[in-house]
Amino acid sequence: WERPDGRPFRQRLLVVANRLPVSAVRRGEESWSLEMSGGGLVTALLGVKEFEARWIGWAGVNVPDEAGQRALTKALAEKKCIPVFLDEDIVHQYYNGYCNNILWPLFHYIGLPQEDRLATTRSFQSQFAAYKKANQMFADVVNQHYEEGDVVWCHDYHLMFLPKCLKDYNSQMKVGWFLHTPFPSSEIHRMLPSRSELLHAVLAADLVGFHTYDYARHFVSACTRILGLEGTPEGVEDQGRLTRVAAFPIGIDSDRFIRALELPQIQEHIRELKERFAGRKVMLGVDRLDMIKGIPQKILAFEKFLEENPTWRDKVVLVQIAVPTRTDVPEYQKLTSQVHEIVGRINGRFGTLSAVPIHHLLYLISVACDHLFPVLSLSISTSVYSRTSNTKFSVQDRSLDFHGLCALYAVTDIALVTSLRDGMNLVSYEFVACQDSKKGVLILSEFAGAAQSLGAGAILVNPWNITEVAASIGQALNMSAEEREKRHRHNFVHVTNHTAQEWAETFVSELNDTVVEAQLRIRQ
Ligand code: ADQ
């Protein structure tokens, strides 16, 4: 990530996220092979030319021995990555427990898991203790590598405690924190037993960023209502110290998608897909298999559409790409089975010998990241899963790579993004970037952050209202070419002007400015 013209970087940037953007495979006692993934955040930071970025995070593997840790640290250094080593117990309690079982569902309005509330509070408390311990371990590593003048950018709900740990080490450190999920209404946040401690920890940052103004507003309300602090138009004030709170909507590297469409191999792929779906309109869903994505609701809406519109039955096909995540968690296994059952029923009901209405394809991401894979990784799957029993899936050798994904986006007539909640949703952006010749329609959930930016061009729907989603499919299929063009133009301009690079650049410069302003205020 060296500056190509050889001039010195203006500043060093330490990017701290739960996962590093690499997959590490152990080849021997002291030998590792690493695969660096491209993707939104990496590309975004490459675009920020004035900064020399280093990544700090967990490599996703348990490395109990010192020799292994030394070797992995050395290998990662070449990729500008610095590992935080977490043992299995911490990963279980901090990552699977507090992050994914408590914060993720709460921030997406699913609520807190009943068993943790009803059983002893011990498991909650021990998970929170592990969360704080893990955040402290990240802070220790940041502190070891920090040099005066560096900017430290912490990412996501895994690291809400980190700003406090860092400022405890050094109050002069420039610390920013960005949340990739929604921040819920203060009425939801107040359910969390550790609600105040977490808010205080985030407020230790100089700049706190969210995808939308609503999330920023919810955060400020939580601080005023739960902590009794003062909310100002700039952020939250605590004893004369201001934490700036603002919206920084993420974008994608739109050029990468647009350029890819010109490649001969993608053109070939597009030709094949057009042939395969000739005479039928293509609808597309691309989601991680997560309850927040509203996949069962989407498929039920499609069923309702087919029920009510028999003339469309053999003229439309839904391709649903699903990426299994957290496959060891029972709720996720249940969701996968549920989706399979609904798809099977609908295909049985409306399919013919020559065609089925739904193609439901499960793909695995090669880098085992959590929900942050879009920004940490776009290195795509090597395998597709198929169902062999209620909960277990076996791997077959089919894959969807970046080119395959672009080709699918390009041949799609209607994208169905019906998340029940979503911080932003990059699939909607990627679809728009790949549609400049087709000008397809985006049906978008009003509960995705993207509704704030692509709402004027999309058909906005309440994903819980299956009748409304079914009707929106009909509206999209019957939309005139002029209206499609107008709606697409609006979204395309947005997606190509608000890129991932611009997002990163804006956040980092705002963080620098915030710190300078705070110093000036102190001097006055
Ligand atoms: P996600 O919940 O993962 O991200 P989203 O923003 O839609 O959701 O990103 C999905 C990404 O995965 C897209 O970039 C897509 O191209 C990619 N993808 C899809 N299928 C794939 C496959 N088979 N292999 C590899 N990649 C695939 C979280 C939040 C979102 C927020 C982002 C970024 O939940 O709300 O938009 O972080 O902040």
CB 143 within 8 A of CB 169: yes
Going by DSSP bridges, is the β-strand pair 441-445/459-461 parallel, antiparallel, or unpaired?
A: parallel
Rounded CA separation 516/524 (Å): 13
Ligand 1 lined by 294 (C-beta under 6 Å): no
Give the closest residue to 122 by CA, choosing from 158, 93, 87.
93
SS3 state at 377: coil
Rounded CA separation 161/489 (Å)? 41
User: Is the pLDDT assigned to residue 378 strictly greater than 50?
Assistant: no
**CA–CA gap between residue 524 and residue 522 (Å, rounded):** 5
With residue 363 as reference, give the H or E element that holds it. strand 358-364
Query: Does the C-beta of 500 come closer than 6 Å to ligand 1?
Result: no
Least confident of 31-40, 135-144, 482-491: 31-40
Given the structure tokens 């929106």, which residue do they identify? 472
Q: Is the CB of 252 under 6 A from ligand 1?
A: no
Does ligand 1 come within 6 angstroms of the Cβ of 373? Answer: yes
> How far does residue 335's CA lie from ligand 1's centre (Å)?
18
pLDDT tier, 522 (very low <50, low <70, confident <90, very high otherwise): confident
CA-derived radius of gyration, the chain: 23
Element at 187 (helix H, strand E):
helix 186-189
**Per-residue confidence at 394, pLDDT binned at 50, 70, 90?**
very low
| CB-neighbour burial class of residue 468 (10 A; exposed 0-12, middle 13-18, buried 19+) | middle
Distance from C-alpha of 321 to C-alpha of 360, rounded to nearest angstrom: 6
Confidence at 46, pLDDT banded by 50, 70, 90:
low
Do 221 and 258 meet the contact criterion of CB atoms below 8 Å apart? no
**Closest residue by CA, ligand 1 atom 33:** 180
Ligand 1 site, residue 427, Cβ cutoff 6 A: yes
Residue 14's nearest CA partner among 49, 50, 55, 47 is 55
Task: Give this complex's ipTM.
Answer: 0.97
| C-alpha of residue 375 to centroid of ligand 1, in Å | 7
Q: How many CB atoms lie within 10 A of CB 169?
A: 15
Residue 508 Cβ inside 6 Å of ligand 1? The answer reads: no
Closest-lying ligand 1 atom to the alpha carbon of residue 290: 2
**208, 156 contact by CB (below 8 A):** no
pLDDT digits (tens, 9 = 90+) for 238-280: 988 999 999 999 999 999 999 999 999 999 999 999 999 999 9
Confidence of residue 117 (pLDDT cuts 50, 70, 90): low
Q: Please state, in angstroms and rounded to a whole number, the distance separating the CA atoms of residues 154 and 138.
A: 10
Mean pLDDT of the chain: 89
At which residue do the structure tokens 């010192």 appear? 66
Query: Across residues 391-412, what is the average pLDDT?
Result: 70
Both tokens assigned to 11: 């500043």
Say if CB 298 and CB 285 are below 8 A apart. yes
Query: Token pair for residue 330?
Result: 């029972």
d(CA 1, CA 9): 11
Q: Whose CA is nearest to atom 14 of ligand 1?
A: 374
Q: Atom 19 of ligand 1 has which residue's CA nearest to it?
A: 286
Tokens 């069962």 label which residue?
A: 296
Taking Cα atoms as reference points, which of 372, 434, 424, 425 lies closest to residue 402?
Answer: 434
**Helix or strand run (H / E) with residue 286:** strand 281-289
Whether residue 251 has its Cβ less than 6 Å from ligand 1: no
pLDDT (average), residues 278-288: 96
Q: For the chain, what percent of residues have pLDDT higher than 90? A: 75
d(CA 127, CA 112): 13
Rama region for 109: left / alpha / beta (φ>0; ψ in -120 to 50; rest): left
| 107 C-beta closer than 6 A to ligand 1 | no
* pTM given for the model: 0.92
Atom of ligand 1 nearest to the CA of 428: 7
The pairing of strands 230-231 and 207-210 is: unpaired
C-beta of 425 in contact with ligand 1 (< 6 A)? yes
Distance CA 433, CA 445 (A): 18
From ligand 1's centre to the CA of 40, what distance in Å? Answer: 10
CB under 8 A, 24+ apart: contacts of 74-78: 75/24, 75/32, 75/34, 76/20, 76/22, 76/24, 76/34
Instruction: Give distance in angstroms: CA of 126 to centre of ligand 1.
Output: 30
Q: What is the CA angle 111-112-118, rounded to 5?
A: 135
Ligand 1 centroid–CA 372 distance in Å is 7
pLDDT digits (tens, 9 = 90+) for 58-106: 998 999 999 999 999 999 999 999 999 999 999 999 999 999 999 999 9
Asked if pLDDT for residue 326 goes beyond 90, the answer is: no
Q: Are 382 and 372 in contact (CB under 8 A)?
A: no
Give the residue from 210, 121, 123 showing the smallest Cα distance to 160. 210
Interatomic CA distance for residues 97 and 90, integer angstroms: 9
Q: Cβ(472)–Cβ(445) under 8 Å?
A: no
Q: 116 pLDDT exceeds 80?
A: no
Phi/psi of residue 372, each to 5°?
-80, 10
User: d(Cα 490, Cα 496) in Å, to the nearest integer?
Assistant: 10
